[in-house]
Amino acid sequence: MNWLIAISNILINPIFYKSMLNNATPLIFASLGGTYSETTGVVNIALEGIMLAGAFASVVFTYITGSPWIGVLMAMYVGGAMGMLHALASVKYKGDQIVSGTALILLSQGITGFLLQRIFGEPGSSELVKTLPTWNIEIFRRIPFIGSIIGNLSPLVYIAFICVILSHFLIFKTKLGLRMRAVGENPEAADTLGINVYNVRYFGVIMSGVLASLGGAFLSVGELGQFTENMSNGRGFIALAAMIFGNWKPFGAMWASLLFGMAESFSYQIQTQSILRLPPEIKYLFLMIPFVLTLVVVAGFVGKTRSPASDGIPYEKE
């Protein structure tokens, strides 16, 4: 009975749903990034490292300029540059895409840790910086209950959902999107039709980096106002699971990200329910919920969803 009361208290609390949106936002950006890359046939497991680099870059440039928006723009630049590195290794030099992605993750962890200490003088975390101002959208705030959830959020939350709509339109309603899907399914056939396979894949991977870095920027200047070492905390891998669960489609990735965001929000909110009288050591188990859900999704849906036919296969022009 206590559990039913606790869960009911969580489900009727707007804070739970607002937390869900905040937790889902970086996953939406990163899973969209993965969708762009893999739609063109390039696996990008470097999302974790790109998010971390984006979070760090946004804090550093906010610290230097005093403007979190400049921090976000520079995070996008850094993310695009990391995407370019992955594209060079995977597309131009036809290297192993998993190895390239792993190398970028390790590179990002090493460089951010080193520069964190060099710039801010101590390891672990940066100084506090300005965060993006929340947007108070009056038309949303007037809606009972829902207004308290969506009426006052970081602008990056709204931008994430706009990116979902724009990405769906681009991938499924434009000539560029048709080329992306053709290159991901059958690059040889696309090449015979005059499509530049390499350029399309470069575009997909660079866009992947830009979007993933926005997820990292949200973690730092969008929400916390600080960078902490390894603050991406596995979200890049969860985003890959969301992309797979969403069947490599923007809206599918969004719904999967919301599911993971809800799981993370629940894992924190359940700990605040005093009626359960949870011992401290049990509370830590709830923090595992998003990662356990990731394992369940990957184990249960990898074989039931269909990736682009040439995903992960380097293209050699004959």
Structure tokens at 60: 């550093």
Task: Enter the tokens of residue 156.
Answer: 């990056």
Instruction: Specify the pLDDT at position 211.
Output: 98
Q: d(Cα 193, Cα 245) in Å, to the nearest integer?
A: 32
**228 touches 125 (CB < 8 A):** yes
Which pLDDT belongs to residue 9? Answer: 73
Q: Output the tens digit of pLDDT for each of the chain's 318 residues.
A: 676 777 777 777 888 999 999 999 999 999 999 999 999 999 999 999 999 999 999 999 999 999 999 999 999 999 999 999 999 999 999 999 999 999 999 999 999 999 999 999 888 899 999 999 998 887 877 888 888 888 889 999 999 999 999 999 999 999 999 999 999 999 999 999 999 999 999 999 999 999 999 999 999 999 899 999 999 989 999 999 999 989 999 999 999 999 999 988 988 887 777 666 666 667 677 777 777 877 777 777 666 678 898 998 898 876
243, 265, 313, 271: which is closest to 97 by C-alpha? 313
* Geometric angle at alpha carbon 232, from 131 and 165, rounded to 5°: 70
Contact indicator for 101, 44 with CB cutoff of 8 Å: yes
Model confidence, pTM: 0.93
Q: For the chain, what is the radius of gyration of the CA atoms? A: 20
The pLDDT of residue 256: 93
Asked whether 216 and 53 are in contact (CB, 8 A), the reply is yes
User: What is the CB neighbour count within 10 angstroms for residue 94?
Assistant: 12
User: Which residues have C-beta within 8 Å of that of residue 191, sequence separation ≥ 6?
Assistant: 197, 315, 317
pLDDT at 124: 87
Domains annotated for the chain, with CATH where assigned, are: 2-135+154-301 (1.10.3470.10)
Answer whether 315's CB lies under 8 Å from 201's CB: yes
pLDDT of residue 316: 84
